[in-house]
Amino acid sequence: MPNRLLIPDVINAQALPIIAPSDMVVVAAKSMAAGGAGATIITADGTAESKIVGIFTENDLTNRVVAAGRDPAHTLVGDVMTPKPYALGPNATAKDALQFMNRHHCTHLPVVHNGRLVGLVSIKDLFVVINKQLEENIAEVEDFVFGNAYSFRATSSGEASVSEVRNN
């Protein structure tokens, strides 16, 4: 499992979808669709500098709006958001985030530093990082198995020794 930090290894230069609890659900859905995001952060006044009061995810849209028969154009985000969301710090690792999401059954987590929103990590973001790590691990094993990363040489006593060829 990678020890990559959430910032900058998993998320960086992110346009954060942020709205206010007084916005309608349709605004949240359009914001998420425009940014290709599965969630939007809800702050007290809809700005990044304001206190996080909730998160609105695709699960909230499905379960609390559509399945409940609510009209997205006439439903306040504040009435259907997940209030007081869990959050992680920027020095948390991808592994920390994945374990936290699994333990708390969530798919999106705000990343907060000194009380300020600095990012939003999703299970999809973590999949990309973990998939890349697995591909790197497979390549290393293949190099070892097929001899690309190691060479054999005889020592002065005539015994064989293995040395790593590349410097990783």
pLDDT digits (tens, 9 = 90+) for 27-70: 999 999 998 899 999 999 999 889 999 999 999 999 999 999 99
Tally of structural domains, the chain: 2
The rounded distance, in Å, linking the Cα atoms of 8 and 103 is: 24
Which amino acid is residue 99, in one-letter code? Q
CB 137, CB 125: distance < 8 Å = no
- Answer yes or no: do 99 and 40 share one domain: no
Q: Give the strand pairing for 82-83 and 108-113.
A: unpaired
* Spatial CA neighbour of 61 closest among 35, 34, 38: 38
In a domain, 6, yes or no: no
CA dihedral 140→145→147→152, nearest 10 degrees, is 110
Q: Calculate ∠ Cα 117-131-6, nearest 5°.
A: 20
In a domain, 109, yes or no: yes
- 47: which 2 tokens? 């700005």
- 6: which 2 tokens? 């959430």
- Answer yes or no: do 93 and 160 share one domain: yes
Cis peptide before 21 (omega within 30 of 0): no
- Answer yes or no: do 168 and 105 share one domain: yes
Percent of the chain topping pLDDT 90: 51
Arithmetic mean of pLDDT, 7-27: 85
* CA 59 vs CA 26, 39, 45, 76, 92: distances in Å: 15, 9, 23, 16, 24
Domain carrying residue 106: 86-113+122-168
- Answer yes or no: do 30 and 62 share one domain: yes
Running DSSP on this structure, what letter comes out for residue 168? -
- Answer yes or no: do 167 and 92 share one domain: yes
Give, rounded to a whole angstrom, the gap between the first and last alpha carbons of the chain. 17
- Say what the pTM is: 0.77
- Answer yes or no: do 62 and 132 share one domain: no
pLDDT given at position 90 = 86
b/e map of 81-94 (b: 16 or more CB within 10 Å)?
bbeebebbebebbb
